[in-house]
Each structure stands twice: as C-alpha cells, then as structure tokens.
Structure 1
Amino acid sequence: MPHMYILECADGSFYVGSTRNLDKRLWEHESGLGAAYTRHRRPVRLVYCEEFTRVDDAFAREKQVQGWSRAKGIALIEERGAEDLPALSRKKPRRER
C-alpha cells in the first residue's frame, strides 16, 4: 500500500516522503540509501504515516504536508488535527512598524 510518512531526524528536523513500500523505504533511510537529506541526519525515526489506495494520492499528500509550517506538522504528528490544524493554517497578522 502507498504511504505518506514523516521521519524525525537526529537533528530534530522532519522529512516528509511517500512510497509504495514503507518497510523498504524506512530501511533505505536508515541504511543511508534514502534521500540525501536523511543520509546526513541519521538515525531517523518514523513519527507519522498515512495509508492510501493510490500512489498519486500519497504523493499529493506528501507535497501538501511539505508546504506546512513546523508547528502544523507537529500538530499532525500529535494527531491534534481537528482542533489545531485550521488555526495553524491562518497567516499571522503583520506587525505595524
């Protein structure tokens, strides 16, 4: 089954990806054969994943989540979605100088 997944890297950053085979892809990231981003930030830990029936849906979700702020990503990981995600999507008002 296709998945969208989020990894927490050793430096505390997050990596968002999608794959047809989650177990194989996690092994690749851990072995240094995954993305260049995670290769230099090992070890990595799976902190979130969603399962899809279609690869293109998993890829679309990956791209959506990649565009989110760190705070919104953490809310998703902590499964605080229904109450927190909409508020985290709103832009903050600009400060006057």
Structure 2
Amino acid sequence: MWVVYIVECADRSLYTGITNDLQQRMAAHQAGKGAKYTKPRRPLILRYTETWDSKSAALRREAAIKSFDRATKLTLIAACDAQATDSVPRSKASH
C-alpha cells in the first residue's frame, strides 16, 4: 500500500509526498531527515492522506496534487476533515 500525504509545515506551507510507511516517513520528517524542503520547516502536522494499491498510481496522484494551488490543496484537506467529522458518532443532547 502506498500513501500520498500532505503535511503543513511550521511556516504554514504545504508539502506533498509519497511513502509506503507513513509512520516512518513522518518520524524522518520530524527528525529533519525527510525531504530537504521540510527540514527547516519543522514541526510538521499531517493534514491529509490517500492510500493507493500501486506506486505508479500514487506517484500520478502526488504529481496531480503538487500541481494544485494552495487554495485547491486546502479545499482537499477541508473535504477530508469534513468527511472525518461526519463519521464521528455524535452524543445525544440531554433535555
């Protein structure tokens, strides 16, 4: 399984990457051993993920996301956040 991800850097910029081990990749980024872009922009917050069965499909999606402007990336993140919120069970209000 391959993961395409977006992280928000300390300077609020967005970085898109690909990995087959998200936990290890995030640890590398946080330790300053990830991409050159993220090294001086720590700490990072994982904002978005997508999973893909093949590396080639994930690479195509990564390239597509990297071509998006910031507003489009933020819309993608917001849609994912909204979807996650919708799946969280809500407690019933007491009357």
TM over 0.5: yes
Report the alpha carbon displacement of residue 35 of structure 1 after superposing the two structures with TM: 0.3
Q: Distance in 2 between matches of 1:74 and 1:21?
A: 24
The aligned residue for residue 20 of structure 1 is 20
* Deviation readout 1:33-60 (Å, 9 max, x if unpaired): 0001000000001000000111111111
The aligned residue for residue 45 of structure 2 is 45
Report the alpha carbon displacement of residue 71 of structure 1 after superposing the two structures with TM: 0.4
Q: Distance in 2 between matches of 1:59 and 1:6?
A: 13
- Residues paired across the two proteins, number: 80
1:76 matches 2:80: no
Which amino acid is the alignment partner of residue 76 of structure 2?
A: L
Alpha-carbon RMSD across the aligned residues, in angstroms, is 0.9
Moved over 2 A (4+): none
Percent identical: 40
Q: Distance in 2 between matches of 1:24 and 1:57?
A: 21
Q: Distance in 2 between matches of 1:45 and 1:28?
A: 13
Report the alpha carbon displacement of residue 65 of structure 1 after superposing the two structures with TM: 0.4
Structure 2 length as normaliser, TM-score?
0.82
1:8 matches 2:8: yes
Q: Distance in 2 between matches of 1:41 and 1:17?
A: 15
Structure 2 unaligned residues grouped into runs of 5+: 81-95
* Deviation readout 1:51-85 (Å, 9 max, x if unpaired): 011111111101000000100000000017xxxxx
Structure 1 unaligned residues grouped into runs of 5+: 81-97
